Structure 1
């Protein structure tokens, strides 16, 4: 069976770990394409000293899941999002998102980084074995909190399994989070299904060379 991780995302995660010095050679070198190695967003994430390896992983994940790597300069209404929020950059809503303002890639990066750092703090506080997790595992939990919110992680079977020592079982919960509200009806959304399937695989199978297993 083939990988559930889209090639665009796999190549940029590979470029990230090479660029950030998280891992080198071998599998990662074969996954990173020339395009991915030149990706400005990946380079910015990789070289930011203010973020952990896990946040770097989660930010690259979000850049694919939220906009396929394309920053959106002016806020738009996310018609598939809960409450149809005003949204900009890679899925950013709420504080700092101003209608009509143009957001440069640098503006977007600063908005995103602040939220990912908060998601990291929230995930770490909720997960007993956080410090023993590989950056890819941590990254999938950060992505979950960033996308679904800390309250959903706190009340989830995913968290219960993780804190009981069943990391594989926790990872396998990702594909279940595939629904959004469309015209008032809970509906399986292809984008959320892809995100869940991809994160399940990354959480269970991807590891940094020499890191926790």
Structure 2
């Protein structure tokens, strides 16, 4: 037991540093870029001409219908066969961004569609353009609906970044794998990695709860002002 505790103590700084240097940046960048892509895709599916709608639907269909690990392999190991070479981190960033974009687009699309049509009419009656109505009236209301599932997507993304180890990104999980290769203690190292992911997910879940309460209060203010 003392040997295991010592091993965990010795490996903890390495695992935490890998999380700070790679896991957290990969998560944040992928989510921000994916959320932006998801918003564009959702708006395209709801309001764009049919050819663009079909393109957006095809993108969502492909990404949601294939495993994330396969997508990462196609980008990192497959694209070099046609002359497109990417380093591990950019390849992972592209893969996670595309994946997050597809899933968040469905969340955002459903949230926008849930806003009553009367809100559009009220915005237009005050002289707003389509863009102003979207920014000032529709998206704030849709945001309340979208916050819980988007938060869940972000928490899932934190854990999904462990798949980046498969394409040699030296994030938290691959750091654990490297230590295992020298210590031959897979159980304790993988449990330690799991506990770090659990801690991050728990903190994010607590923040999610506070965020939902805050948006709930904001929603109540909107209802009171109508």
| Fold equivalence (TM over 0.5) | no
Bigger helix fraction: 2
Q: Which has the higher contact order (CA 8 A, sep 6+)?
A: 2
TM-score of the superposed pair, with normalisation by structure 2:
0.28
Larger radius of gyration: 2
Structure (1/2) with the larger strand percentage: 1
**TM-score when scaled to structure 1?**
0.29
